[in-house]
Each structure stands twice: as C-alpha cells, then as structure tokens.
Amino acid sequence: MKILGISGSPRKGKNCEKMILTALEIAKERGFETDTVFISNMEIAPCKVCGACVENDSCVIEDDMEEVYEKMRSADGIIVASPVYMGNYPAQLKALFDRSVLLRRNNLALKNKVGAALSVGGSRNGGQEKTIQSIHDWMHIHGMIVVGDNSHFGGIAWNPVEEDSIGMQTVSETAKKLYEVLELIQNNKR
Ligand SMILES: Cc1cc2nc3c(=O)[nH]c(=O)nc-3n(C[C@H](O)[C@H](O)[C@H](O)COP(=O)(O)O)c2cc1C
C-alpha cells in the first residue's frame, strides 16, 4: 500500500515538509511505499472553470498537476500538511484542491482512500484546527475516509516544529492512525 504525503507550503525544506517526512518515515518503518508532492517544487495554476474535465478526463492546463493526479490515483492513503495563512490553508494548496475536481468527476477516483491532515502556524493557536478542518472538508468532498490522531483532529504544530515536541507527537500519532486504518482495511481484504 502506498502513502502520499502532500506539503502545501511554498517554502522548501521548512515545517510542512519536515512534518510530511516525519510521517512518511513512520510509514516506511511499517512497510508502506511512500511518495511526496511538495508544492514548493511545483507549478500548479488555479482552475479556470473551463468545464473541459466535465466532458473528458483531462485538464487543459499544462502544468505539474498532471503528475499530482497520477500520484493521488495510485495512493491508498493521503496525508496533507499545510501552513496556516490568515487562519486557513494557502492559495497554493487551494489551487491543487480545486484542480482535483477532475478526479471527483472521474468516478470519485479518491473515494475510500484514507486521509489525514497536519497543520503548522507561527502562533501556538493561530488557526491550525480550522486549517485541518478545511483539509478534512476537501477529503470529505472526495468521499475519502478521514481520520484524526485518536485524540483530536490531526497534527497541530508550532513553527519551528523541531522545537515543538508536543506538536510533533500529534503529527506522529496522526500518521500512525492513518496507517492503522489502512492495515485494518488490508487485513480485511485477505
Ligand atoms: C501570508 C501569511 C499568513 C500567515 N497567517 C498565519 C496565521 O493566521 N496564523 C498562524 O499561526 N501563522 C500564520 N502564518 C505563519 C505560518 O503559518 C508559519 O510560518 C508556518 O510555519 C509556515 O509553514 P512552512 O514553514 O512549512 O512554510 C502566516 C504566514 C504567512 C506568510
């Protein structure tokens, strides 16, 4: 089974990417394949609402979203990390979420994939819970199975994450919950 980690930060090597790498390290230890989408390395334009994906299974915009579609289709679990920008996720991640409508229109391609969310802010309580809830909304719209951290809603951290051991604990617990649910699904299929 494969886990896709998506970082919604436009900054390379910073908190969101560190949280995703921590989550994926645990996945590898448990025998999952892993893959990443780091928005900091990608060009993803906003949806133009041209309607082409209603008619056929493709997008007219030629950019890195094509690669994201393939990575999302082949994942069993998706974990998204986002910074808080003005109380919610940034425009760069919104562009990716909006463009993913193509997958929804294609027979709910993300349906029953398991999803979890992580968020980091510059303030201890700067909107991480709201950002996680917004990511969960996107997952629900795709018919995904959404999990928290067995306690609350997901991974909630404070920049810089390497100094926030309590926050990083919630990141690890969220990742473990995601993998636990996938293992349950896998065992039931046998
Ligand atoms: C435009 C902008 C708006 C921000 N708004 C918030 C906010 O509302 N709450 C908060 O806690 N941090 C806010 N921050 C701080 C970022 O969430 C924080 O620096 C975070 O660590 C960035 O993630 P990254 O290090 O992965 O890029 C904001 C940063 C920017 C650039």
Q: Considering the chain, what percentage of its residues have pLDDT values greater than 90?
A: 96
pTM check: above 0.95? yes
Farthest-apart Cα atoms in the chain, separation: 49
Q: Is 143 in the pocket of ligand 1 (CB under 6 A)?
A: no
CATH superfamily of 2-46+53-189: Flavodoxin domain (3.40.50.360)
At 53 the pLDDT is: 94
Q: What is the DSSP letter of 149?
A: -
Ligand 1 centre to CA of 14 (Å) is 11
At 56 the pLDDT is: 83
At 189 the pLDDT is: 81
Q: Where are the domains of the chain?
A: 2-46+53-189
Opening angle at CA 172, ends 184 and 80, nearest 5:
80
Q: What is the DSSP letter of 126?
A: S
pLDDT digits (tens, 9 = 90+) for 114-145: 999 999 999 999 999 999 999 999 999 999 99
Q: Whose CA is nearest to atom 24 of ligand 1?
A: 15
